[in-house]
């Protein structure tokens, strides 16, 4: 009998996207800027490189509720990434996302945010997914609103958005 300490590979599928868990080999390719026939021409972005560089320090980000590559189903190309910053803090998880410039304006970020947030809210002990957005980025504000997030706080230069399990709304 053998056992594996690797997390189960759970890809999330939407109408137009597959959200596939990052692997260390994905991160190595991104950091090495080696390119891949499965990447959109403008993938990875600087944000993808930053995340890939942090996996050694945050191995749980590679787990079931961690970071994912966003794959366009029609082309099978990686067009961005999205992730949850695991572990949760007091039942809340932060989400971050990015779509390459060549695929922006198609609603992919909202579709991915909605799917990953819905999945995250099934995780043990998680009741809220949140994001902080600079007010100078109205596109990201629209992404979150379309994904079902609600603004719950505004600071000088940023807005805070969240989506909460229905049984936790007060």
Q: Yes or no: say if 134 and 169 are a contact pair by the CB < 8 Å rule.
A: no
Candidates 114, 108, 116; CA nearest to 74 is 108
* pTM of structure: 0.91
Q: What is the pLDDT of residue 10?
A: 84
Listing DSSP states for 10-28 in one string gives --EE-SSEEEEE--HHHHH
Domain chopping of the chain, boundaries: 12-163
CA atoms of 5 and 85, how far apart (whole Å)? 20
User: Which class is 12-163 in CATH?
Assistant: alpha beta
CA atoms of 162 and 170, how far apart (whole Å)? 13
Q: What is the pLDDT of residue 34?
A: 86
Q: What is the pLDDT of residue 123?
A: 94
CA atoms of 161 and 151, how far apart (whole Å)? 4
Helix H or strand E segment including 70? strand 67-72
pLDDT in tens, the chain (170 residues): 333 444 456 899 999 999 999 999 999 999 998 888 999 999 999 999 999 999 999 999 999 999 999 999 999 999 999 999 999 999 999 999 999 999 999 999 999 999 999 999 999 999 999 999 999 999 999 999 999 999 999 999 999 999 998 876 55
Q: Look at the block and give the residue holding tokens 């021409």.
A: 41
Q: What is the pLDDT of residue 134?
A: 96
């Amino acid at each position: 009998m053998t056992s594996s300490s690797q997390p189960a590979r759970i890809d999330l599928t939407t109408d137009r996207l597959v959200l596939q868990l990052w692997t260390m080999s994905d991160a190595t390719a991104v950091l090495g800027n080696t390119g891949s026939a499965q990447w959109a021409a403008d993938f990875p972005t600087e944000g993808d490189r930053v995340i890939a560089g942090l996996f050694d320090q945050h191995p749980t980000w590679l787990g079931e509720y961690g970071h994912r590559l966003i794959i366009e189903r029609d082309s099978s190309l990686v067009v961005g990434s999205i992730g949850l910053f695991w572990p949760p803090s007091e039942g809340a998880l932060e989400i971050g996302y990015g779509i390459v410039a060549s695929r922006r304006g198609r609603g992919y970020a909202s579709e991915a945010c909605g799917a990953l947030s819905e999945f995250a809210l099934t995780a043990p002990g998680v009741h809220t997914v949140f994001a902080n957005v600079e007010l100078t980025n109205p596109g990201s504000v629209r992404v979150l609103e379309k994904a079902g997030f609600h603004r719950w706080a505004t600071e000088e230069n940023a807005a805070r958005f969240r989506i909460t399990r229905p049984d936790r709304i007060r």
